[in-house]
Amino acid sequence: MKVETYIQSLFTPDDKEYGHITNKMIEIGMPTISVSPETGKLLTLLVKMSGAKKMLEIGALGGYSGICLLRGNEEGSLTSLELEEIYAKVAKKHIEEAGFNGRVEMKTGPALQSLKELEKENTEFDFFFIDADKENYVHYLDLCIKLSKPGSIITADNTLWSGEVLNEATTDKDTRALQAYNQKVAEDPRLESLLIPIGDGLTIARVK
């Protein structure tokens, strides 16, 4: 049995929302690239353990990771940034159907633009989840730090990229971007951080 299967069978045996959202996305031709249920559960636990209330995610897709974040705090709210209008509508519907009505605000368009708008509004967040275009991860990190406060948590998915990040000779743009992200998070003096090898890799950081 693979380690991943062992963890899933014990700790996330039946996430109904994951199954439901995946089926709906297949029906309407969306890519099924949500976080894995175990990564989703880690997000929920991190929100619970940190007591985060104001959360922001970059990359909504079908709404599954948004649901995992909102599961972490009964009083929490989520700002979700998504490039595609149609995905944002699907995500909002799924998040509301999961019982989180009125607790999510979708912002559509390129996330870099949305983040700059939030910066102008002087908004602060306690928890960030980065899961969109890999080439912008390092830029998202800088903007998330600007929108953070001491103790805020910044997480990012796919930071192992199926193990490809180990390939130092790679010329693949996404792999290079993820290597640069991990290096930046590891070395940034404003952060304390770690890469957790769960799902496709989740890099977590706490703002000092």
Residues found near ligand SAM in the complex (CB under 6 A): 33-35, 59-62, 64-65, 81-84, 87, 110-111, 131-133
- Find the distance separating the first CA and the last CA of the chain, reported in whole Å: 40
Task: State the minimum distance, in angstroms, from the CB of residue 163 to ligand SAM.
Answer: 18
Maximum distance among all Cα pairs of the chain, rounded to whole angstroms? 50
Min. distance of Cβ 169 from ligand SAM in angstroms?
A: 26
Give the residue with the Cβ less far from ligand SAM, 143 or 168.
143
For CA atoms 182, 155, 104, 32, the dihedral sign is positive
Nearer Cβ to ligand SAM (50/108):
108
Per the CB < 8 A criterion, the answer to whether 57 and 66 are in contact is: yes
We find the least distance from the C-beta atom of residue 117 to ligand SAM, in angstroms, to be 13
Nearer to ligand SAM, 1 or 205 (CB): 205
The distance of closest approach from Cβ of residue 194 to ligand SAM in the complex, given in angstroms and rounded to an integer, is 20
With CB atoms as reference, the residue minimizing the distance to ligand SAM is: 59
Q: How far is CA 66 from the centre of its chain?
A: 8
Under 8 Å between Cβ of 208 and 192: yes
Angle between helix 85-97 and 16-27 (nearest 10): 150
- Is 184 exposed, middle or buried (CB count within 10 Å of its CB: 0-12, 13-18, 19+)? middle
Residue 61 CA to its chain's centroid (Å): 11
**Shorter beta-carbon distance to ligand SAM: residue 66 or 182:** 66
> Which residue number, 41 or 192, has a Cβ lying nearer to ligand SAM?
41
Compute φ and ψ for 12, nearest 5 degrees.
-135, 55
> Could you tell me the smallest distance in angstroms from the CB atom of residue 61 to ligand SAM?
4
- How far apart CA 104 and CA 83 sit, in angstroms, is 16
Nearer to ligand SAM, 64 or 128 (CB): 64
Minimum CB distance to ligand SAM, residue 133 (Å): 4
